[in-house]
Every structure is written in C-alpha cells, then in structure tokens.
Structure 1
Amino acid sequence: MAIDNDKKMSYRMYLVAFAIFVMAILISIKLVNIQWVEGDYYRKLAKDRTVKNFTIPANRGNVYSSDGSLLATSIPNYTMRFDALAPSAENFNKNLEPLADSLSVMFGKPSEEYYSELKRARAKKNRYFLVARNLSYTQYMRLKSFPLFNLGAFKGGIITEQKTIREHPIGKIAERTIGYERIDHKGENLEVGIEGAFAKYLNGKDGRQLMQKIAKNQWKPISDNNEVEPIDGYDIVSTIDVYIQDIAHHALLKQLEYYEADHGCVVVMETKTGYVKAISNLGRHENGSYYETINYAVGESQEPGSTFKLAGLISLLEDKKVDTSKVYDSHGGEIIYSNRKVRDSKKGGYGKISLARGFELSSNTVIVQAVYENYKDNPQEFVDHLNAFGLNRKLGVSLKGEGKPKIPQPQDKNWSKLSLPWMGFGYGVSMTPLQTLALYNAVANNGELVRPLFVQEIKEWDRTIKKFDKEVINPKICSQETINKVKAVMENVVKKGTGSKLYSPNFSMAGKTGTAQVNYGGGKGEGMYYSSSFAGYFPADNPQYSCIVVIHRPSVNKGYYGADVSGPVFKRIAQKIFTDVPSTNKVKKLDKTIKQQEQLYASYYDKEAKVKDNVIPNIVGMSGMDAVALLGNMGLKVQVIGVGKVKKQSLKPGEVVFKNQTIILELS
C-alpha cells in the first residue's frame, strides 16, 4: 500500500512539473510574441499612456483702435481647486485655520465657513474641492501664497486650471463690431465682427510640448525645448476712433431711450478713405435697457424710404431729364398710381414747387412725379443708374453677414406698374444703412464710391504685415456738374428744408431726412411701424465725415419724423467732433492780423520807447499786463490790486528809479 502511495505521489509531482514546464513554455512564447511580434504595438501603447504631446496655445493678437486704444485682448483666467487627501494630516491640521482666515480676508466669507468646508472635504475624501473661479493672475499668485497652498500640488493639494478669456477694455461700446470668435453647440465656428473676420491673423499657431506622466495625473516636460514653438497671433489695428465712437454711442443711446424705440444704429465714416470711425448698434432688451446685439448697420436690409430719393435725383440730373428748377404741382399732397395713393407728410401738399424744393421738403408727390414721368416709357434706364451706383450689389465689406440689397429689375416676374413710382420715394427697394451711407459718402467724395473699411492695418509688434488702403468701387458715379447740384440741394435740406431744426451757423452740414413707413400700404396691422433716418455729411463745404442714423419703431406719441428722431443724433455727432475732438482743433489763419491787437502792441512799444531807464513813467490808463511787463523790465517789483487798466500808481511819474524798489498799481 505504501508503494502505491509513493507512485501516486510521484505521478502528481511529474504532473505538476509538466504543468509548470508547459506554463514556462507558454510564458516564453508570450514573451517572445510581446517582444518580437507585438512589441511595436505595446511599446506605442506604453508611450501613449506615459508620454503625451500637450498643446501650447498661441497668444491671440490684440485689437486696437486707430488712435491706439486697446479694444480687445486676451488675459489668463484661473480656477483653483483643492485635493483634500494630498496634504499629510500634520500639514492639514497645522495650516487649516490660517488658510481659512486668509480665504476669508480675500473673498469676504466668514473664516468659520471656510474652516468647516475644508474639513468636510477632507472627511469626504474630496479630491476636487472648488476654492474659487474667475481669478486674475494677481489673485492666483496671492492664493498660491496662502498657508498649506504654498506647499505646492503634492504637499499642499492645490490644483490650478487655467484658461484664456477675451476682454474688451472699453466695455460694451461697439462690441458687436469688434466682435468675437466662438464655437457653437454643433462645433461650428461663429465668426462675428473684426474678431471673427480676421481670426486667421489673430489666432496664430499653437505649439506642442512632449511631456511624461509622473504621478497623480501630473506631467512634466521631457526636455527644455518644445516640439513645436507657438507662434503668437498678429495684432489688428481697426479704423474705429474711440472718442468718435463714444460720441456716436451715447448720442444714439440718448435718443433711443427718449423715443422708447426698438433698435437703432449709427455709422460715422471718413469720407475720402472709407474708414469707419464709429459704429453703434443698439437693441432694446425686455427690461428696457439697450445693448449691442445685432449688427443692424451691416446686416439689416429694409426699405430706406426718403433717403433713397437721392438716387432718383442724381439719375434725373445726370440724364438731363429735368433741372432742379423744374416746377411740379403737388396736387394737394396726394397722387394716385394704379389705384394706390402716394401722399406727402404735409396735409394739403406744398402747392407748386421746384424739384429742388421738393427734395428739400421731402415731397413724395414731387419726386415720384419726376421719376415716373421721365422713366415710365423706359424704366430700365432708371434702374441702370441704380445698378451703376452699386445699389443692387453688396459692398463686400470684411465683416460677415452683410445684408443683401434689393433693386427691382424690369425683367423680374414681380415687376409691376407700381414698381417705378414706388422706387421713386424709397419703397419696394431694400438696403442696409451702410449701403445707403456709401451712396451719400460718394456724393460727399465728389462721385468716388469707396468700400467701407473696418481694419486699416495688421501688425506684428511694430512691423506692418498688411495695410488696408482705400478701396474704390466706382471712381465716378456721375458727373461733377450733377454732384455740385445735388450737394447744394442737400445743404439746403439743413438750411431751410426738413432738416432746418438741425441748422447751426457754427458748422455746416448737408444731408437728407427719411421717414419710412415699414409695411407701407399694407394696412395698419401689427407689422406696421416707422423707421426714422438721417444720412449726410459734414462740413458741407469740405466734407470730412459722412454719417447715417437709423432708428426703428420710435414711440409715435413722441414723434417719428427723421428730422426729429434721427437728425439730432447726426447733429450731436457733428457738433462734438468739430468742437471737442483734438485732431480737429486746428488754429487757422495764423497770418491774419487783428487791428485792435496791432494797436495795443503799438501803444505798448511806443510807451516803452519813451521811458527813461532811471525815471518812473506815467502808466495810468495802460493795461495791467502791459504795465507789469514795462515796470519789470526797469527792475521794479510790482504789486497789483484789482484787474483791468491802471487807475493809480504809488510812485509818481518822474521819480528816480531805485533797483528792487516796489511800486503798487491799482487797477480799475
């Protein structure tokens, strides 16, 4: 029996040994497979889990105004969290109270509250406790110096999350035009304003750095050099002038608030270059406040109303169909085309007046008659002018979302007998405020139509990468003769027409009022409201700036005519620019002599020539300033009582002068 047991034991040992041998062979095969067959795969897997390329974000370029003010910049933003298990019990207990006190001083919450929250985080093994969000770099550095946190990530448990946010130092002013670039929920890039349109220049190129995992999701660089160095974005110099922008923004805001309007916009453009110096787009919020929301000036295409009459007047004069002196009967302020009425804003009309006066008074009946009578047999001739002005095409501005203009064409299937007369006073057509302004700017610019520009330069530090100079769309939209006539009529709009309330003898302006009834002739339902506008330029004799103001849905109880609602915004901007802007405060006619001034100079020098060096002169009747200068040159100390001319002197004329002697003058 013992022999059988020994045999069984031997078999078991052989079996175990054989199993171990087989396992050894299998392990060897696996090792060989891992090393030689699948080695590359596993080496790559190990590397991917322990070595990783991290993106080094490039610094996004800044956006500046034309005067050098910072409009948009990137700043670091920090979130601080706390790994409550990282510190040792000794370090945690030792620093908990002073840490709570420091946090209380910085953020204003009671220290007891911080003490309890941190202790609770430790008890619940919270490894991601939120300490603070939206910290500036200064706040972040201060927080890092607090007790416990100053021990670092491993001993102090501090966790830092950094991101870059875009700041607009001048606030919400022109925010929609300065713009932004962000990714929507679908992952699509929303390009808005200058930030979006010039993102490829602003973004730069991200770099890469190879880093190795060490512990607790902590990574360290493998070498001091980056795999790919980041290239910072370029800076954008916009055409916006901060001072003019501020004037335009607040002038528009004040008017929107007073008239309780729905929304409005204003654009100020440099006449010769097309540089947009100011643009404001304000829409009303539910709470009654106004914010930069939609870029109405660039994107909102609607019927312009009476500001479109300029296109009709230019066409008539250029074709020599009529002259500005041609007289029309306003027919009691109402005429009918295809059973549809065209009315003047003044009940009873204006009687018989010239075409020029009809434009100045914005008479719908006069302008429509002039257009219809001269182009009814060949409407294409009229439309060809509008197309030549570029009114049927987008301006092609750099900002995204430009509205599409609409100019009916005679060959269109929806062209009707009403199309031509309705176009005469700005209905049935569609344009954005910026497109309307471009036409007015062309008149101010002696016929040269230029593209509105929002950026004038792209720079890398002090080096110019790209410059945006004036872009001419049409070198001459009409003859100089026509331009001169139209300019004179538009100047009279402000002097004695619908814009006469805006007239100022101190600075000249020219332009056209507009009061469009949106949904004109479509009934007075929910969709009908007024759009008030004013477009023009200043100064009238030598235009430097063109400007358009459009205000939608003003309270009809307070007023809705363009001259009353939008005109004052235009005047305020022109007035402020030519009285306050430093660049326009130029001293003129320095060589001109002033008779009274010359007489005073002559009197002073005559008196000085007659004075003997050692004798007190008679200075009664001389101006105080001249008397002080004269006596000071003689070595006397002068005390003055009062202002004006000298009526009494303490030392009598003819007395001998002693050095440093004091003389008292009483002035009238």
Structure 2
Amino acid sequence: MFVFGLAVVFKLLSIQFIEGDKYKALAEKRVVKDVVIPANRGNVYSANGNLLATSIPKYDIRIDAVTSSSKDFKKYLKPLADSLAKFTGKSSSYYQRELRKARANKNRYYLLVRNIGYSDYIRIRNFPLLNLGAFKGGLIVEQKTKREHPMGGIAQRTIGYERIDEQGNVTRPGIDGAFGIKYLRGVDGKRKKQRIGKGQWKPLSDANEIEPKDGYDVYTTIDVNIQDIAHHALLEQLEKYKADHGCVVVMETKTGEVKAISNLGRSSKGYYYEKRNYAVWESHEPGSTFKLMAITAALEDKVIDTSDVVDTGKGVLTYYGKKVRDSKYGGYGKISVSKAFEVSSNTGIVKVIHKAYAKNPEKFVDRLYAMNLNDTLQIPIIGEGKPVIPDPRIKNGRWSGIALQWMAYGYGVSFTPLQTLTFYNAIANGGEMVKPRFLKEVREFDKVIEPFKKEVINEQICSKETVKKVQQLLKNVVEKEHGTGHRLYSKNFSMAGKTGTCQKDYSNKEKLNYISSFAGYFPAENPKYSCIVVIHEPDKSVGYYGADVSGPVFKRIAQKIYTDTPLVDEVETLEVKQPSVEKEYEGYYNLAQKYKTIMPNVVGLPAMDALSLLENMDVKLKVKLKGSGVVKEQSVNKSVKLKDNQTVVLSAS
C-alpha cells in the first residue's frame, strides 16, 4: 500500500509539474475552438454600375439562459419578453414561459429568432438582458451570408452563385466561380467559441479575434439595358414556340465584351429559368450557320469565288449511299456560289466544297484550324464545351467517307454558341478574332485592383479580301429578296447574318427535332455588336426554321438596342435619373447607376434594402437606422452630394 501510494503521488506531481502544459492545452482544445467567420464575398456589378450580385448578412439570435445572474434574469425577463413579442407578434407570456423553461432545463442555446437582416439584428441585440452582452446577458449571435441577385434570374448562370449539396460538394458556376477564389472570396476571420455541452458552442466574447476581410468587387461587361432586352426577347420566343431551351449572346465587335447573355431552359411545369449556361457549355452541330466557315475557308484557299456557278441538280446529292437534300424541294438549278449561300442551298455548298477538297480533305481541315475553329476560347467561366472537327489524319477522329460533305453544311462538326459567335464577330470587325470577355475590372472601393483589356486570339483569320466578300454575303442574306433572312429586313436599320436550321436526333425519326439559330451583327456597314440566337426543339407544328424562330429575336434585340436603350455616355440630369416615389422599390438598384456619390431618395424602401444601398455607395457613410419596416424619413435630402464619414439617419416604421 505504501509503494502504491508513492506511485500515485509521483504521478500527480508528474502531471502537475512535468506534463501540466500538455494536458492543459488538451483540455482547452476540447472546450475552446477557433471558428471560421466567413468573409463577405465581393459584389458583382454591371458595366454601368448596377448591382448584379451581393452578399447580404443574415443572423440567428440565441440566448444562453443559464449564464446571467438570477437577479438580472428576474429583472429583465418581462422587458425582454415584451420586446420579443412586439418583434415577432407572439405573446409576452409565451416568451416568459419559454425562457423560464429554458433556464430550468439549463438550455444554453435557446433560439430566439432566425435568419434576420442587419437592421433587425442591431435592434434585437439592444433588447433588455441581451444588451448586457455574451456573459451577463447570454447573447449568442450566429452570422451567415446569403448571396442575392438584385436583378432576379436575369443572367444568373453567368453571374454565378455558390451552391452546397447534401454531401458538401460546392458548385460555383459563372463569374462567381471563375473569379471567386482570386477576387470575390475575401479573407475569413476567426472567433473563439467555448463548448457548452450537447455539441453546442458559445462565443467567448462579443468581438472576433481576427476580423474577416471582404472580397474585392468585380465589374462585369454586362449592360443591364441590353441584358434586359435580350432576356425578354428570347423568353417571348421560347414561350411562343414552346421550345425546350435556348440562349442569346450579344458581344461588342471591337473589344469582345459580352454585353448580354441569357440562357433559358424549360422546367417540368412549363416555365423558363436560367437552367444551364448553354451559350458556354452546350457544344452542338451548328447546321447552316457553319456554311460561313466553309465558304470563308474555300475563298481563302482560292479554290472558289462567289461568282462561280454551281449546279444544285434536282436538290439531292448522294455520297456513299447517304443523301444530302437541299433546303428547297427540287433544288435551285444552276446558281452562283453567292446565291447558294444566300438561299442556304445545302446541295450547292456541299458540291463546291466536295469539288474543291475531295482529293485533299486535310487542306480544308487545316484551313479551319488556321482560323482557330478547333480551339476552345479559354474563357475563365468553368464548363466550356469543346469544338469538334473531324480529321482524317487522327485515329478515331470521327472521319468517314461523307465527313467532308456533311461538314460543308454544318453536320459532324460541333461548337458552342459562343464559339460560333466569336467567328462571326471576327468577320464583323474585319478579321480580328477577339476573345469574349466578361470582366472590365476588379475594384476595392474606388481603387482599381486589376483592369481587363481586349485579348486577341488571331490578328487576322483570313485576308481582307475574303472578309469583304463574306461580309457582302451575310448582308445579302437579309437584304436580298431571295435571302433566307429577308423577312428580317428593315429599310430603316441594317443587319447582316446567317440563318441555321439543324436536325437534332436525325437518326431517329420519331425523336426528330430541330435546332434553330441566327448569327450575325449590326449595323451591317459599321458593326458595333455581334449576336447569336440558338433555340432548341421548337414545337414543329408552330415552326422550326432559323429565320422564323431565332431570326426575330435577333432583329428585336438589334432594333431595341438602337431605339430604346439610352447611350452610356449620354448626358442626363439628376432629376431624370431619380425615380418617382411610387416606383422607388423597382428602381432601387438603378439609383446609383451613375451617381454613386449622390444621396438617393430611399423613402418608401424596406429599411434593410435602403441600408444595403447606402452601404454600397462610393463614399463611406455612417448609416443609423431608427425603427424597422419601411423608411419614412431620411436626414439627408435626395440629390445632395455626399462626403466620406457623413452620418445619414433613416427613420422607419
């Protein structure tokens, strides 16, 4: 017994003086931990300053019903219950009963309110008892952020978002995913929490050990006016033709800046929403819009000329037992290559390409490669589809006896809408192929962190002579009476482009559907914008030709851009920019479009929205909110020039 006692004493002394620090650290690790405080992701703005995506803080408020003294708990129980009752609409007696029960059950994590905004959080933390803080009052605040898209579903897939599934897998499509880690994410903070039992943790103090640093703001190339036009033009046509899905992209010809991109898919209930980024992701057979690439290649190789005559025969050609049928029953007879393109004669285009390259198809493929058609665009948005061009020199390169002939009119090859548009855009600007661009710059407040400039993929995809010839062909498609796009013609406004109608699932007649498209640019003489519209599986009983289905979307966008949209550099007065009181909520995110140092009129807005708006101005404001609900008064009048650190008081009820 004596020896055993000595052993116990020795072990106690060893633990206390030799291994004490080790066990103390282990004990603290089990009861105290560092919790990550996620930084607010930076905002995403349009090219003209409209807020497209922002992180809104949300709060859960709990109470440690044990930590406060009996004196304080008894003193503030009813005042706290009264305040909570006024806030939630439940009775004061309900909260008094629940809080007493929580204290009796030693509940150190009782939920008071969930998912509230910043102004409500400030209000609640000043309620009786809670205003004593974490230890004396038992206040527990849990903050999270929610990504909001003020413009709604418009361009949401391109703007992006963060989604975490049940397995913890993170999906970040669009700009949020492409630039989130480098720019938008920010630096997380840290806060110490103490375990209070049953897997629950309570902050050790009201302050964070390391404050989170918000991410940078990203300014995109998207123009909300053009985006709105494109979105609704596409939506209207999808609904009219009951199509499965579709997309539209509008790009600035000289810079490659994407001004609008809309991707709409049909739900099981029949409504359309931003389902997938079809413009970037979906690689498909382009059909007749590829005839531009085929003719450009042949003109550049000088194996044809637009004035050459081709015999379309009776509208049917046969290669290796496979038939190529013309766009017109019986064919067009003997016509020029120019007219064959303008009327979109399948047999005409196939015949000239077969004659020019049948003995050396590698030459045709090499010319397509030289025009960068086999390359992805290397855009930062994740998920770009890969182009497909059959090549006889590559094993399993999808080459067959009829590959050349099918390629000539857009079958067997595959491109995304954005890749097709990039080629048309190069023709529009004289031959320079520019990379589609979604970002203008990254900012930290007023400081530009990184600007983004035009990137050139190919300085000259073909000769100026070839460019001029195909530009005239594209113009004729719309202007000539026999052109497939003539129904889009307007004597007041010039456009150039190519229709496309491609069979989908053509191996199965029962499932046969179509892809309708139109790609081009406007104005035809001095192109400013290029545009592509692709609509999948329109109702065949209503119509499916590219000129009928996709062409009108293109025309509507082109006309509205130049008739309805105010120019970005247009001089406007402050009074014109200020919305009426009746429309303030609708105009909430447009108020600061140009005048982000001018006080907007926020009377009539929800208090949280007004608070968020003012905190996103280009000046640092001290915003004080009195009350909650809708803003009734503001201490600074609208149109007043704001200064840094200026105090703005909002009264709400």
- Does the pair score TM above 0.5? yes
1:373 aligns with 2:359: no
Q: What is the count of residue pairs matched by the alignment? A: 564
Answer whether contact 1:214 1:220 (CA < 8 A) is retained. Answer: no
What is the match of residue 436 of structure 2?
452
Deviation at 1:198, TM superposition (A): 0.9
2:202 and 2:41 map into 1 onto residues whose CA distance is: 27
1:132 aligns with 2:113: yes
Alignment of 1:575-586 (within 5 A): 575-583=559-567
1:82 and 1:225 map into 2 onto residues whose CA distance is: 18
SS in structure 2 at match of 1:583:
coil
Q: What is the one-letter code of the residue matched to 1:234?
A: Y
1:275 and 1:317 map into 2 onto residues whose CA distance is: 29
Deviation at 1:509, TM superposition (A): 0.7
1:79 aligns with 2:63: no
What is the match of residue 221 of structure 2?
239
What is the match of residue 484 of structure 2?
498
Residues 332-381 of structure 1: CA deviation (Å, up to 9, x unaligned): 32222222221223323323321111111111111111111111111111
Deviation at 1:29, TM superposition (A): 1.3
Answer whether contact 1:578 1:585 (CA < 8 A) is retained. Answer: no
Tell me: CA distance 1:421–1:213, structure 2 relative to 1, closer, same or farther (3 Å). Answer: closer
Alignment of 1:298-337 (within 5 A): 298-337=280-319
What is the match of residue 447 of structure 2?
463
Counterpart among 252, 261, 272 of residue 234 in structure 2:
252
Residues 178-237 of structure 1: CA deviation (Å, up to 9, x unaligned): 112445555554331111111222222234466788999544469x995x6644322211
TM-score normalised over the length of structure 2:
0.79
Counterpart among 494, 502, 525 of residue 508 in structure 1:
494
Answer whether contact 2:379 2:436 (CA < 8 A) is retained. Answer: yes
Tell me: CA distance 1:142–1:316, structure 2 relative to 1, closer, same or farther (3 Å). Answer: same
What is the match of residue 32 of structure 1?
13
Q: What is the one-letter code of the residue matched to 1:58?
A: A
1:259 and 1:111 map into 2 onto residues whose CA distance is: 57
1:571 aligns with 2:552: no
2:568 and 2:349 map into 1 onto residues whose CA distance is: 37
1:316 and 1:50 map into 2 onto residues whose CA distance is: 75
1:179 aligns with 2:160: yes
More divergent stretch after superposition (578-587 vs 468-477): 578-587
Residues 635-667 of structure 1: CA deviation (Å, up to 9, x unaligned): xxxxxxxxxxxxxxxxxxxxxxxxxxxxxxxxx
What is the match of residue 606 of structure 1?
none
What is the match of residue 559 of structure 1?
543
Alignment of 1:478-557 (within 5 A): 478-496=462-480, 497-520=483-506, 522-526=507-511, 528-557=512-541
1:41 and 1:155 map into 2 onto residues whose CA distance is: 31
Identical positions, percent: 60
Answer whether contact 1:121 1:129 (CA < 8 A) is retained. Answer: yes
2:195 and 2:138 map into 1 onto residues whose CA distance is: 18
SS in structure 2 at match of 1:403:
coil
SS in structure 1 at match of 2:389:
coil
SS in structure 2 at match of 1:517:
strand
More divergent stretch after superposition (455-464 vs 113-122): 113-122
Alignment of 1:409-488 (within 5 A): 409-412=391-394, 413=396, 414-488=398-472
SS in structure 2 at match of 1:447:
coil
Answer whether contact 2:134 2:205 (CA < 8 A) is retained. Answer: no
1:232 and 1:78 map into 2 onto residues whose CA distance is: 17
Counterpart among 377, 385, 388 of residue 395 in structure 1:
377
TM-score normalised over the length of structure 1:
0.78
Residues 366-411 of structure 1: CA deviation (Å, up to 9, x unaligned): 1111111111111111111111111112111111110011000022
Tell me: CA distance 1:46–1:126, structure 2 relative to 1, closer, same or farther (3 Å). Answer: closer
What is the match of residue 650 of structure 2?
none
Deviation at 1:533, TM superposition (A): 0.4
Answer whether contact 1:181 1:199 (CA < 8 A) is retained. Answer: no
1:296 aligns with 2:281: no
Tell me: CA distance 1:491–1:115, structure 2 relative to 1, closer, same or farther (3 Å). Answer: farther
Tell me: CA distance 1:549–1:111, structure 2 relative to 1, closer, same or farther (3 Å). Answer: farther
1:53 and 1:585 map into 2 onto residues whose CA distance is: 50
What is the match of residue 647 of structure 1?
none
What is the match of residue 45 of structure 1?
26
- Any stretches of 5+ residues in structure 1 without a counterpart? 1-18, 588-668
1:385 and 1:180 map into 2 onto residues whose CA distance is: 40
1:190 and 1:466 map into 2 onto residues whose CA distance is: 25
Residues 273-329 of structure 1: CA deviation (Å, up to 9, x unaligned): 111111111111111111112110001011010000001111121122222122223
1:586 and 1:71 map into 2 onto residues whose CA distance is: 22
Answer whether contact 2:80 2:129 (CA < 8 A) is retained. Answer: yes
Tell me: CA distance 1:142–1:230, structure 2 relative to 1, closer, same or farther (3 Å). Answer: closer
Answer whether contact 2:493 2:559 (CA < 8 A) is retained. Answer: yes
1:124 and 1:225 map into 2 onto residues whose CA distance is: 29
What is the match of residue 142 of structure 2?
161
Tell me: CA distance 1:218–1:518, structure 2 relative to 1, closer, same or farther (3 Å). Answer: closer
Deviation at 1:562, TM superposition (A): 0.6
What is the match of residue 13 of structure 1?
none
Q: What is the one-letter code of the residue matched to 1:515?
A: T
Structure with greater Cα Rg: 1
SS in structure 2 at match of 1:332:
coil
Answer whether contact 1:239 1:276 (CA < 8 A) is retained. Answer: yes
Deviation at 1:505, TM superposition (A): 1.8
1:37 and 1:118 map into 2 onto residues whose CA distance is: 46
Residues 143-166 of structure 1: CA deviation (Å, up to 9, x unaligned): 334455555555655432211222
Deviation at 1:540, TM superposition (A): 0.6
